[in-house]
A and B are shown apart, each in its own frame.
Chain A
């Protein structure tokens, strides 16, 4: 295998796939990227056996072939070369010779046959959505995913497609984020999948805020997303996602509306003195006024007031302040609306201008 390539042309695709390479791996080949040189196409693949990222580059190749190279070292070499450098890669026996200007590197290779590939994907479902839509669906919800929860099905993002609707839901058992969008196409039956945390993060890195379509393929065990020069594949979490419809509170109750930015600033200010570990904050609602109270173990106290629109019952509820801030940070809208039944029921938060997203937070005992 032998080819010449501009430094930037190699750096970009390498950066696209590097996220799949784990820092520590059990299989030596997983520390490498697979480089496959066809006559006019160079393909770079990285995997951790759960997700697989592929980048493609149009390139005239001197001598076709395939090999795997140490991913991190190859990326670091590329990064350290000047922007306009030309790199030549030449495989000789089991060594890779990389030359650019007056720098030469030899890297240890592993044969392409050692490189694991994900199982064949049996397509069950296929649809196209604008990239920006998929991006929004993930961005508005993925923050609520659990981390290393024993309920493994919570450590991911649920995506559900049914007649004309695509929705994403994430929850860690204490709060839940929900987003739905309409999609075109004749989708008859519905399909629900759970994408693991790492896959969600890598997929998000791939997406741009453009209306270019992305092809999404849902298999029984995989999700695959195809862009012009990139492909993302992830295994799915095999589990039953909790019934989110059951925990969606009714829209009836004590309702307040507030300016998002002033509520956010008030929460940030009062959170300075909330318990660093438990992040509890007392929310006191009275006519057109929201009071925030935080106390830490040193008995230091914060009291912050915000004007809101509220005509409901006087109410005192505890919340994890981070959960509230996470919701406020998902949107740039001016107005936020909250509905609370009582101090032991969940709170429904929405942005009136973004009715396709809903957020549910369970209170804390204070």
Chain B
């Protein structure tokens, strides 16, 4: 290990690190099942899943990528090993990793289930140089999970994220803020986080292909087209990304659950069971984080595309029973016996539960449901999700749960 205290002895005005787990789900599998180590491993959603969620570096060497169909992957690498996801384990490992990071640098932004930004600026007084802190973090991640990670350190989020990608896996790259502009100079702008084809194409029309070209472009052109995010892009390309570490979890834009159902399902009862399952999950999650919603998307995917639509309630609600009634009327309105393959229930405008009391008494029935929901939530919180459910869900699907990339250890994103 190099002596980082010598590499970088100066106090940085701003020190940001990105910690990125290497092929997270695959690494967890290889950690727990030694026979997988050194093998090309692909993770799918259960053994029924056909789409590769992630794969080991050994598999990547064969050209296998995330999002690839299993069939295609087998042609590239016939000895590929398929493993089903274990979302609960990943959530557990992620929580431990995030917790370990936060004990060193409490100012952290959990970017996804396997990525986190930390602001190391204030920690420099306690632990020394950013390089040294990064080593502490890498060590802490390993101690907490037995897994390797890649770390990028710089003076801003964009450069830190770029640095973390440089030497994967097990990367460790420090770009001091005063070198950031120079280091990014020849990097294509589309390699920066947040610049995809859309903005990339816009920049290319103005002759901006690599970050170094950005200085030639007046900031006002980006501001005019994209507003403040545009201004941010201008700074990003010069190693000056002003974006802060967002330690709080923003209010959700939607809360929803969907599920693939047996192909060509036409049995109303079966569809309703799936809808109830999703309803129970969505409404319990809304209640858990004190949200309610007025508009719900209730959808059924047929072979000709999505049926269903937005259903609006009189007032924002999070009651399971009421939401299931809404599902039933959506089904009656939009479904005419087509074969279905997927259902979705999403709260579209979740807002914190109302604090304002009402002048006129509300429906006594809703008041009763509120008490019932509360009791069910208490039981399930203590004994595990779905311990107490409507009887119809005894026949629910055993298809495994899926962990979302935006999963977070705390708040409304903590759901599988």
When the two chains form their complex, are residues B360 and A242 in contact, meaning their CB atoms are under 8 A apart? yes
Contact A364 B356 (CB under 8 A): yes
Q: In the assembled complex, how far is the CB of residue B176 from the closest CB belonging to chain A, in whole angstroms?
A: 32
B349 to chain A: closest CB distance in Å?
13
Q: Is the CB of B355 within 8 A of A175?
A: no
Partner among A175, A278, A344 whose Cβ is within 8 Å of the Cβ of B359: A175
Q: How far is the CA of A199 from the CA of B355 in the complex (A)?
A: 31
Assess whether A228 is interfacial by the CB under 8 Å rule: no
Which residue of the partner chain, among A171, A173, A176, A365, contacts B355 with CB atoms under 8 Å?
Answer: A365
Report B9 CB to chain A, min CB distance, Å: 36
Residues of A within 8 A of B355 (CB): 278, 280, 318, 364-366
Contact code string B128-152 (vs A, CB < 8 Å = 1, else 0):
0000000000000000000000000
Partner of A360, one of B315, B352, B356, B359: B359
Of residues 342 to 366 in A, which have CB atoms within 8 Å of B's CB atoms?
344, 346, 360, 362-366
Q: Which of B336-366 contact A (CB under 8 A)?
A: 352, 355-360
Tell me which residues from 259 to 318 in chain B have a Cβ below 8 Å from any Cβ of chain A. Answer: 314-315
Residues of chain A lying within 8 A (CB to CB) of residue B360? 173, 242, 247
A174 at the interface (CB under 8 A from B): yes
Question: When the two chains form their complex, are residues B359 and A171 in contact, meaning their CB atoms are under 8 A apart?
Answer: yes
Q: Which B residue sits closest to A361, measured CB to CB?
A: B359
**A contacts with B, residue count (CB < 8 A):** 21
A344 & B357 in contact (Cβ 8 Å cutoff): yes
A-B interface pairs (CB < 8 A), number: 36
Q: CB of A320 within 8 A of chain B?
A: yes
Q: How far is the CA of A163 from the CA of B315 in the complex (A)?
A: 38
Q: Which residues of chain A are within 8 angstroms of B352 by Cβ–Cβ distance?
A: 278
List, in ascending order, chain B residues with CB within 8 A of A318's CB: 355
Interface positions, chain A 189-213, Cβ under 8 Å from B, are none
Tell me the minimal C-beta distance from A202 to chain B in angstroms.
27
A188 at the interface (CB under 8 A from B): no
**Inter-subunit contact A176/B359 (CB<8 Å):** yes
A320 to B355 alpha-carbon distance, docked (Å): 10
Give the secondary structure class of B's interface.
loop
CA distance A364 to B353 in the complex (A): 12
In the bound complex, residues from chain A placing their C-beta under 8 Å from that of B315 are 150
Shortest A339–chain B CB gap in Å is 16
- Alpha-carbon distance A343/B315, docked complex (angstroms): 24
Q: Is the CB of A173 within 8 A of B314?
A: no
| Residue of B whose beta carbon sits closest to that of A366 | B355
Contact status A365-B359, CB under 8 Å: no
Closest to B294 in A: A150
B41-59 CB mask vs A (1 if < 8 Å, else 0) is 0000000000000000000
**Docked complex Cα distance between A177 and B315 (Å):** 22
Contacts of A320 in B (CB 8 A): 356
A171-186 contact mask (Cβ, 8 Å, vs B): 1 or 0 = 1011110000000000
Min CB–CB distance A346 → chain B (angstroms):
7
CB distance from B250 to the nearest CB of A (A): 11
- How distant is the Cα of A363 from the Cα of B355 in the complex, in angstroms? 9
CB distance from A264 to the nearest CB of B (A): 21
Report the minimum CB–CB distance from A159 to chain B (whole Å).
Answer: 19
* List of B residues within 8 angstroms of A171 by Cβ: 359
- Closest residue on chain B to residue A346 by CB atoms: B359
Q: Which residues of A contact B314 (CB under 8 A)?
A: 150-151
For B357, give its contact among A151, A278, A365 (CB under 8 Å). Answer: A365
Q: Could you tell me the distance between the alpha carbons of A247 and B358 in the complex, rounded to whole angstroms?
A: 10
CA distance A278 to B351 in the complex (A): 11
Residues on the B chain within 8 Å of A365, using CB: 355, 357
A71 to B27, CA, bound (A): 72
Q: List, in ascending order, chain A residues with CB within 8 A of B357's CB.
A: 174, 344, 362-365
Q: How far is the CA of A242 from the CA of B359 in the complex (A)?
A: 10
Residues of B within 8 A of A366 (CB): 355
Q: Which residues of B are found within 8 Å of A280, using beta-carbon distances? A: 355
Binary interface encoding of chain B residues 311-336 relative to chain A, with 1 for a CB under 8 A from any of its CBs, else 0: 00011000000000000000000000
Alpha-carbon gap, A247 to B360, bound state (A): 7
Give A152 Cβ to nearest chain B Cβ, in Å. Answer: 11
A362 and B359 alpha carbons, distance in the complex (Å):
6
> What are the interface flags for B228-271 relative to A under an 8 Å C-beta threshold, 1 for contact and 0 otherwise?
00000000000000000000000000000000000000000000
A175 to B356, CA, bound (A): 10
Contact A247 B356 (CB under 8 A): no
From residue 224 to 280 of chain A, which have CB atoms closer than 8 A to chain B? 242, 247, 278, 280
* Chain A, 122-166, CB within 8 A of any chain B CB: 150-151
Q: How many angstroms between the C-alpha atoms of A150 and B355 in the bound complex?
A: 19
A residues 91-129 near B (Cβ < 8 Å) are none
Q: Give the one of B314, B355, B358, B360 with max A CB within 10 A.
A: B360
Query: Complex Cα distance A320/B357, Å?
Result: 10
Tell me the bound Cα distance from A155 to B360 in angstroms.
15
In the complex, chain A residues whose CB is within 8 Å of the CB of B356: 174, 278, 320, 362, 364
Residues of B near A175 (CB, < 8 A) are 359
- Complex Cα spacing A209 to B356, Å: 36
Q: Which residues of B contact A174 (CB under 8 A)?
A: 356-359
Query: What are the residues of chain B within 8 A of A242 when measuring CB–CB?
Result: 360
Which of B352, B358, B359 has the most chain A CB within a 10 Å cutoff? Answer: B359
Q: In the assembled complex, how far is the CB of residue B43 from the closest CB belonging to chain A, in whole angstroms?
A: 38
A344 — nearest CB in chain B belongs to which residue? B357
Kindly state the separation between the CA atoms of A171 and B359 in the bound complex, as whole angstroms: 9
Binding site for B on A (CB under 8 A): 150-151, 171, 173-176, 242, 247, 278, 280, 318, 320, 344, 346, 360, 362-366
8 A-B pairs with CB atoms under 8 Å apart are: A150-B315, A151-B314, A173-B358, A173-B360, A278-B356, A362-B359, A363-B357, A364-B357
Q: A174-B358, A247-B360, A362-B357 are in contact. List 12 more A-B contacts (CB 8 A).
A: A171-B359, A173-B358, A173-B359, A173-B360, A176-B359, A278-B355, A278-B356, A362-B356, A363-B357, A364-B355, A364-B357, A365-B357
8 nearest CB pairs, A to B: A150-B314, A362-B357, A365-B355, A364-B355, A364-B356, A247-B359, A362-B359, A242-B360
